[in-house]
């Protein structure tokens, strides 16, 4: 529980100082973390299982940008704004669903069949079965800061 509180606090501090800007029509940048975020139509239409999410991100090309990654819990939670509700994302994000999005964080041990999702309506996170299908929003570290 202490770890979760620490993670939440760190994410809130990170977001409080972040500026979310458009890099292109379908890419958003968080200037605090330097992360680029996919914001194309598939971010609100594509549902995948946990195991499909990694290969989806690896093969994704958005506005000519390749080499996307499946975000971990901290990366994905860094774009949640706990001060707003429905959605808990910056208004710069145009393509989202107020629903669960996969993070690459497995729940529990290495053989777990559950992973952590974040809901962009409430900002809450939960564990879900990896065989279920949820939305995916890929990210990458920006080489040019």
pLDDT in tens, 33-90: 999 999 999 999 999 999 999 999 999 999 999 999 999 999 999 999 989 999 999 9
Whole-model pTM: value is 0.85
Positive or negative: CA dihedral 78, 79, 80, 84: positive
pLDDT band at 14 (very low <50, low <70, confident <90, very high): very low
Instruction: List, in order of start, the domains of the chain with CATH numbers.
Output: 2-141 (3.10.100)
Whether 68 and 38 have beta carbons less than 8 Å apart is answered as yes
Instruction: Give the per-residue pLDDT at 109.
Output: 76
Q: How far apart are CA 25 and CA 93, in angstroms?
A: 10
């Amino acid at each position: 529980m202490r770890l979760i509180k620490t993670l939440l606090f760190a994410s809130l501090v990170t977001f409080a100082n972040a500026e979310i800007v458009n890099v292109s029509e379908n890419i958003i940048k968080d200037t605090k973390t330097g992360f680029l975020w996919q914001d194309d139509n598939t971010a609100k239409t594509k549902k995948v299982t946990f195991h499909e999410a990694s290969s989806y991100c690896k093969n994704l090309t958005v506005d000519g940008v390749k080499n996307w990654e499946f975000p971990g819990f901290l990366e994905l939670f860094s774009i949640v704004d706990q001060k707003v509700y429905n959605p808990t994302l910056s208004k710069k994000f145009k393509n989202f669903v107020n629903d669960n999005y996969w993070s690459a964080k497995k729940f529990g041990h290495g053989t777990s069949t559950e992973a952590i999702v974040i809901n962009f309506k409430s900002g809450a996170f939960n564990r879900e079965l990896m065989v279920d299908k949820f939305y995916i929003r890929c990210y990458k570290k920006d080489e040019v800061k």
